[in-house]
Amino acid sequence: MKPLAEKEKDAGRFTRARMPPRERRVRVTQATTTADKHGGGYLPFAIDVRWGDEWHQNDIVGCAYLKTGALFVKRGDEYRPASVLLGKSAEAVAGVCTPGAKERA
């Protein structure tokens, strides 16, 4: 969240981008990792924001891969590397942040 806050701090007051929130908080939405379609374990997270007195939940949702440190955020129906939040172009990555098929007994 620090790189995102720094990017927003550098933005001018007269911009078409939305104003940065007064405060953010990160919530890990699941206590254990889930295996994705490729077998990698991830933890889903959500970032809540506050502009005034009220918190708005799930402003940003995504997942973190603990072994690699990779972060992905949801844009529409797809997950992209979290670098898109910093204005970098990144293609959607298939199969991340999506639970794999359950094994049949």
pLDDT at 23: 84
Q: Which helix (H) or strand (E) holds 6?
A: helix 2-10
Q: Which residue has the tokens 């939405």?
A: 29
Length of the chain in terms of residues written: 105
pLDDT at 105: 38
Mean pLDDT, the chain cut into blocks of 10 residues (105 residues total)? 58 64 88 92 94 91 95 96 90 93 49
